[in-house]
Amino acid sequence: MNTRRQFATFYLHGFFFGVDVLKVQEVIRYLKMTRVPLAHGMIQGLINLRGQIIPAIDLRQRLEFPEREENQLPMNMIVRTEDGGVSLLVDEIGEVLEVPESCYERLPSTVAGAARELIQGVYKLKGRLLLILDAERTVCLPKA
């Protein structure tokens, strides 16, 4: 039997990522943030989502990618974790994809840095790779 998995997808620095669709609460346009003094550098601020205060993590910084250009506003992918909702700031929202498990590959040993610990594996799709992000690990910030 060929089992299939669903992922909410997004783009970040030209790469195509996915998060287990069951972890995603919603995706929304950019919201104004309140900066938090003395917060970890990856925390861009707090957003107010219908009365719920949610921290926003810059995924570019978390994955050690270059900063986005000043005129490029990020999008919010709100993920549910054991500790509550967290916004992952991404470049562009994709679609929900259903992919067969037979396309899954382990992460190549050539991947290094933060990506090595945050990306669970890769799905080989027609003309592109879908990198699967571990949402729980991603929101656990490294010690400053």
Residue 144 counted as domain residue: no
State which H helix or E strand residue 117 sits in: helix 113-118
CATH number at residue 49: 2.40.50.180
Residue 53 counted as domain residue: yes
The answer to whether residues 7 and 96 touch, using CB atoms and an 8 Å cutoff, is: yes
Q: What is the pTM (predicted TM-score) of this model?
A: 0.91
Nearest-angstrom CA–CA distance, 17 and 9? 5
Q: How confident is the model at residue 143 (pLDDT cuts 50, 70, 90)?
A: low
Beta strands in the chain (DSSP E): 4-12, 15-20, 24-28, 43-49, 52-58, 75-81, 84-90, 92-100, 104-106, 119-125, 128-133
Mean pLDDT of 1-7: 85
Domain that holds residue 135: 4-139
Residue 103 counted as domain residue: yes
Residue 87 counted as domain residue: yes
**How many domains would you assign to the chain?**
1
pLDDT (0 to 100) of residue 1: 57
Angle at 67 between CA 8 and CA 22, to 5 degrees: 15
Residue 104 counted as domain residue: yes
pLDDT (0 to 100) of residue 77: 97
Q: Find the distance separating the first CA and the last CA of the chain, reported in whole Å.
A: 45
State which H helix or E strand residue 31 sits in: none
State yes or no: pLDDT of 7 exceeds 60. yes
Residue 62 counted as domain residue: yes
Residue 15 counted as domain residue: yes
β-strand partners of 8:
19, 96
State which H helix or E strand residue 32 sits in: none
Region of 128 on the Ramachandran plot (φ > 0 left; ψ -120 to 50 alpha; else beta):
beta
